[in-house]
């Protein structure tokens, strides 16, 4: 499955390089939602909430009401997860909160593991949290099994190449695939159709940002294979 991404900052759709430097601003969130309407799911990430510098809650909820979405960014309570589901989110993505087991358990109980995706984003070989600004001591490969009971899938971003249009690390995704039978969604640096086909051969979804916002990968071709 191909999943276009709408990343929100200050009420705008943006693309960042490695989660830090803003590379571009796109059309309004509703325009992008319409542009992605041919795809089965759309990923919505509230970057402000992820970084703890504000939120785009009303905008996120409005988008969730209008499309089949997986929503993340700053989801750090069962109440927030329930609210997103109530507003129509198909699934909820949890990153930082996943490393508080009591909190993760409460979120999984509130919405059900089938609605929960755990984000295991990697930079320099280690999982990063808090908007990719804090590095943990563990690798994604080490903790996949631990999180399986709480969720139905993983969002794994190769942050080292995020937004750089230089390709991703297919070997890393192969290692992740070998560790779990849960759904995996790959993100970070995916730039070519060859990479997408390689991920599909591994039964891994592709979440796409910069490559579609810059036109490197054409939406009509992607929608045809999604």
| pLDDT for 183 beyond 80 | yes
Query: What pLDDT, on a 0 to 100 scale, did the predictor assign at position 164?
Result: 64
The predicted-structure confidence for 136-172, as pLDDT tens digits, reads as follows 899 999 999 999 999 999 999 998 877 667 789 999 9
Q: Exactly one of 10, 27, 121, 171 is catalytic; which is it?
A: 121
CA distances from 44 to 10, 36, 82 (A): 14, 12, 16
* Strand order from edge to edge, sheet including 121-123: 121-123, 126-129, 134-135
Q: Is 121 a catalytic residue?
A: yes
CA distances from 178 to 18, 119, 145 (A): 26, 17, 11
Domains of the chain: 2-225 (3.20.20.70)
Q: Tell how strand 2-9 and strand 134-135 pair up.
A: unpaired
Q: Is 169 a catalytic residue?
A: no
CB atoms within 10 A of CB 197: 12
The predicted-structure confidence for 99-139, as pLDDT tens digits, reads as follows 999 999 999 999 999 999 999 999 999 999 887 788 989 99
The predicted-structure confidence for 15-73, as pLDDT tens digits, reads as follows 887 666 677 787 899 999 999 999 999 999 999 999 889 999 999 999 999 999 999 99
């Amino acid at each position: 499955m191909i999943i276009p991404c709408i990343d929100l900052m200050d009420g705008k759709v943006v693309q960042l390089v490695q989660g830090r430097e803003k590379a571009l601003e796109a059309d309004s969130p509703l325009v992008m939602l319409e542009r992605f309407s041919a795809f089965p799911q759309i990923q919505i990430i509230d970057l402000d909430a992820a970084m703890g510098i504000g939120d785009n809650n009303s905008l996120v909820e409005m988008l969730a009401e209008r499309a089949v979405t997986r929503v993340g960014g700053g989801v750090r309570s069962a109440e927030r997860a329930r609210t997103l589901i109530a507003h129509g989110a198909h699934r909820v993505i949890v990153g930082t909160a996943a490393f508080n087991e009591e909190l993760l358990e409460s979120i999984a109980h509130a919405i059900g593991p089938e609605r929960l995706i755990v984000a295991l984003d990697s930079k320099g070989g280690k999982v990063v949290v808090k908007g990719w600004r804090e590095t943990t001591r563990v690798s994604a490969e080490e903790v996949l099994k631990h999180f399986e009971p709480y969720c139905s899938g993983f969002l794994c971003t190769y942050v080292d190449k995020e937004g750089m249009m230089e390709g991703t690390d297919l070997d890393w995704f192969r290692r992740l695939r070998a560790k779990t039978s849960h759904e995996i969604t790959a993100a970070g640096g995916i730039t070519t159709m060859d990479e997408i086909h390689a991920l599909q051969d591994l039964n891994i979804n592709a979440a796409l940002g910069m490559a579609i916002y810059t036109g490197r990968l054409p939406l009509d071709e992607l929608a045809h294979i999604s």
